[in-house]
Structure formats: C-alpha cells, structure tokens
C-alpha cells in the first residue's frame, strides 16, 4: 500500500511536470517575457529545486518524511496558482522560487531526496536496481501523458493548465499523509551525515548537470519554437514521445544494471546520447531535429535509475535523504546556469551553442565517471 501511494504521488507529479515542460517557455513568452528573462526564470527554478532539497532533508529528519513530502505538494500548488494567475514579470519569476516549475526533470525538486529515501526503505538491496527502474518507469509514462496533454493547449490557454497543475499539487499533499510509518527511517534520522566519500561523485554529477542545464526539456521546447516555429500542437506529442522513450529506457536500465553493473550502465548509455546531442544544431529542418532528439532521449535517461540506486547504496539508511539532497543541490545549482546562458544565446540567434556546450560537458563527465568509478561497484553489487 505504501509503495502504491508513493508511486501514485510520483506519477501525478510527473504528469504535471510533463505538460509544464512543454508550455512554460511559450506561456512566459505570451505573458511578455523576453528570451533572456525566460531563461533566467527557468534557471532560478532549477537552483531553487536543488537547494530546497537540502531544506527538505532537514525537515524530513526533524518532522518525518511523510509530512515533508506533503509540503512539496503545497509548493507545487503555489507554483501552479502563480503561473496561472500572475500578470507581472516579478510575480511570474517568483513562481520559480518554489522549486516546483517542472521544467527540467521529474527527478529534480525538494521531493527527490525524501521520496527516494522512502523507496529505498521498501526494498532489499538486491531488488533495488529494478525498484528504481520501475519508479522511473511510472514517472516516464505519466510524464509522456502530460506532454501529450499539452498538445491540446490552445494559444494563450496555458493558464487553465496551470490551474490543473495547482490541483495536482493539492492531491499530492494528501497522499503522503495516508502512508504508514514504515516509510520513515528505521534508525534515528541524520539530516546531514559524512559527505566526504561522495565529494568526487557530487562534483562529477555537477558537471553533468551543468551540461544538462543548457538542454533542459523546457529549454529544448522553447528552442524548437524559436528556431523552427514549432507550436504547442506539435511540441506536445513530441515530448510525449520523448517521455515514452525515456520510460521504456528506465525499465531496460534496471535490467541492464543487473547484468553489466550500475557504472557501466550509466556511461555506456549516456555517452552515445551526448554525441547525438551535439548533432542537433546541424539539423536542416524540424523533422530531422526531432528525429535526432528522439534518438538522444532513447538513451539519455538510462543513467537516472542507475545513479539513484548507486547513490542510495553508498550511505547508511539514516543518512540517505541528506546525501541525496546534497548531491541534488550541487547538481541543481550547476544546472541552473545553463538556461540563463541558453536564453541569451537564443535571443542572439546563436542556436548551436546550447547543444554544443551541453553535449561537450556531458561527454567529459561520462569519460571522467568511467575513469574514476569503473572499479567501485555499489555494495549490493558485490
């Protein structure tokens, strides 16, 4: 029952993030924001999402995981109401401070550290690879449905979607409160433990996220709109297809990790996807750009469940929320710089810059991760 409620909460949030990633840039543009300010708003949202994870880890240790996860639902509801009703630039930018814009990833936000710690409590070490794969699969499928729903938006109709976003946030307030105490830590929780063993890993994750910030989903949707004139009617189904590809890859990733190991899964799938990412700006038209992006997204997220399972296995249960939050904060702050620079580049018609910068940094990350950790399997893999 607890796992079902956890996955339901996860799926509902992913559905909202799915349509927000498609609509956000266009919605802000229709409210009068220039490209640079749109990039800044998304960047602030990414930074807030990661930093708020540290606060969530502290709250989870003090007040419990269920209450903290419910608070994340409150933040999602506030973000939706702000985006739906605000008319001033300052108020729209303020929505990013909730950390729940959903413009980049279904795994970035204050909820991530708490939710992944709860999931790790519900499964044994040997089942963890598949459990995190299934956890990502649910999010991917609902994220695809959200992207498809965004294709139904009429010009200027983003407000109604963001009212729905606020409603989803309200539902995710209630569901965690229905879970049992079994999802809480079995030991006395420690908000922030010893992070020295994770320092190098966190640094590499930050490099990857810095590259990812240049090509966050919300940024790519806006890039396709500006570069090729793509509308929400086109972008909705495209990002639904992207999410379906990612969902399928999550399930494959869990099984692949059981065969070749978590680090190998992360590197051998991620590196080819980044080569494709660098090729996107060379596409002569929207159809070819979309095809390259499909190829990239079929591989790019297979490292996500592998990374989650690897990190959750390196620290004791009582320290998991803090460890996940710490690495998430480092990743998110690094990622937040990308959209700001991308917004400036799009405004200056430098359309290749986001993909070359993002893909190049991610390739360096892949090579460094393999060199540094190929001989260090997770404890449950030994």
Per-residue model confidence as pLDDT tens digits over 34-70: 888 888 888 888 788 878 888 888 888 888 889 999 9
pLDDT band for 243, please (50, 70, 90 cuts). confident
User: What pLDDT is attached to residue 104?
Assistant: 63
Q: For the chain, give percent helix, strand, coil, nearest 5.
A: 80, 0, 20
Average pLDDT, the chain: 84
- The predicted structure's pLDDT at residue 176: 92
Place of tokens 């996220």: 209
The Cα-based distances of 291 to 59, 238, 279, 298, 342 in angstroms read 43, 10, 11, 11, 22
Eight-class DSSP state of 31: T
Give me the pLDDT at residue 105, please: 62
> What's the DSSP call for residue 284?
S
Question: What pLDDT is recorded for position 286?
Answer: 93
Locate 292 and state its tokens: 């390259």
HSE-up (13 A, CA, CB side) for residue 224: 28
Other CB atoms within 10 A of residue 279 CB? 18
Question: Which segments of 31-157 does DSSP mark as H helices, in order?
Answer: 35-63, 65-85, 89-94, 111-121, 128-150
- Worst-scoring range by mean pLDDT, 9-13, 77-81, 88-92, 152-156? 152-156
**Mean pLDDT score, 113-125:** 78
Digit-coded pLDDT (tens) for 165-206: 999 999 999 999 998 888 787 666 555 555 556 778 888 988
Is the pLDDT at 253 greater than 90, yes or no? no
Burial, 308: exposed, middle or buried (Cβ in 10 Å; 0-12, 13-18, 19+)?
Answer: buried
pLDDT band for 81, please (50, 70, 90 cuts).
Answer: very high
The stretches of 229-283 forming alpha helices (DSSP H) are 232-260, 262-279
For the chain, the straight-line distance linking the first and the last C-alpha, in angstroms and rounded, comes to 31
List pLDDT tens digits, range 303-360: 888 887 888 777 777 777 777 777 777 777 777 777 777 777 666 666 788 899 889 9
Assess whether pLDDT exceeds 80 at residue 137.
yes
pLDDT at 126: 66
pLDDT level of residue 114 (50, 70, 90 thresholds): confident
Residue matched to tokens 């490292």:
303
> Is the pLDDT confidence value at 123 over 90?
no
More confident residue, 129 or 284: 284
List the one residue out of 207, 255, 256, 200 whose CA is nearest residue 366.
207
The C-alpha atoms of residue 54 and residue 351 are separated, in whole angstroms, by 34
Q: How far apart are CA 323 and CA 194, in angstroms?
A: 8
Domains of the chain (ranges, CATH numbers): 2-381 (1.20.1250.20)
């Amino acid at each position: 029952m607890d796992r079902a409620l956890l996955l339901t909460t996860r799926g509902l949030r992913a559905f909202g993030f799915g349509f927000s990633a498609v609509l956000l840039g266009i919605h802000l543009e229709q409210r009068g924001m220039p490209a640079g300010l749109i990039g800044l708003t998304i960047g602030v949202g990414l930074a807030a999402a990661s930093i708020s994870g540290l606060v969530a880890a502290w709250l989870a240790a003090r007040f419990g995981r269920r209450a903290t996860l419910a608070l994340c639902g409150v933040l999602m509801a506030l973000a939706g109401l702000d985006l739906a009703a605000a008319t001033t630039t300052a108020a729209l930018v303020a929505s990013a401070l909730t950390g729940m814009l959903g413009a980049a990833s279904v795994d970035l936000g204050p909820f991530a550290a708490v939710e992944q710690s709860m999931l790790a409590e519900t499964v044994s070490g040997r089942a963890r690879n598949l459990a995190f794969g299934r956890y990502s699969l649910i999010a991917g499928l609902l994220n695809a449905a959200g992207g498809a729903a965004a294709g139904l938006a009429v010009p200027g109709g983003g407000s109604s979607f963001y009212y729905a976003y606020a409603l989803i946030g309200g539902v995710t307030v209630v569901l965690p409160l229905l879970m049992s105490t079994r999802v809480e830590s079995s030991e006395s929780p420690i908000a922030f433990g010893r992070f020295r063993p994770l320092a190098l890993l966190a640094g590499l994750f930050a490099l990857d996220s810095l590259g990812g910030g240049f090509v966050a989903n919300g940024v790519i949707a806006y890039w396709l709109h500006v570069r090729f004139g793509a509308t929400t009617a086109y972008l909705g189904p495209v990002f639904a297809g992207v999410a379906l590809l990612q969902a399928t890859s999550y399930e494959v990733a869990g099984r692949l990790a059981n065969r070749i190991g978590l680090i190998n899964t992360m590197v051998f799938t991620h590196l080819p996807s980044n080569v494709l990412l660098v090729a996107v700006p060379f596409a002569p038209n929207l159809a070819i750009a979309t095809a390259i992006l499909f190829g990239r997204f079929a591989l790019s997220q297979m490292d996500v469940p592998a990374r989650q399972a690897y990190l959750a296995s390196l620290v004791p249960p009582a320290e998991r929320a803090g460890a996940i939050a710490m690495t998430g904060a480092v990743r998110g702050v690094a990622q937040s710089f990308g959209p700001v620079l991308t917004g400036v580049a799009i405004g200056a018609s430098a359309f290749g810059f986001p993909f070359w910068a993002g893909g190049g940094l991610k390739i360096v990350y892949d090579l460094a991760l393999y060199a540094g950790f190929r001989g260090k399997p997770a404890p449950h893999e030994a």
